[in-house]
Amino acid sequence: MEADRARHYQVRSTSERCNSDLKGNIRVRGAAKVGLYLMFGIVVMSAEALLRLVV
C-alpha cells in the first residue's frame, strides 16, 4: 500500500511542477497571446526533458 502512495505522490508532484512552470509569469493580454506563450512553454519543457534524457 505504501508503494502505491509513493508512486501517486510522485506523479502528482510532477504534474504540479509542470503546472507551476506553465503558469509562471504570464503578462500578456488576449487568448491568442496567452495560448502562444503556453505553447512556447510546452516546447521549452519538452526540449529540457529531451536534454535530460541525453545527458
Mean pLDDT of 19-36: 81
Measured distance CA(22)–CA(54) in Å, rounded = 23
Q: What are residue 29's phi and psi, to 5 degrees?
A: -115, 150
Average pLDDT, the chain: 81
CA 2 to chain centre: 26
Between 37 and 25, the higher pLDDT residue: 37
Q: Say if residue 46's pLDDT is above 80.
A: yes
Tally of structural domains, the chain: 1
Interacting residues of 34 by C-beta distance below 8 A, sequence separation 6+: 26, 28
The residue segments making up the domain with residue 32 are 2-54
pLDDT band at 1; cut points 50, 70, 90 = low
pLDDT at 47 over 80: yes
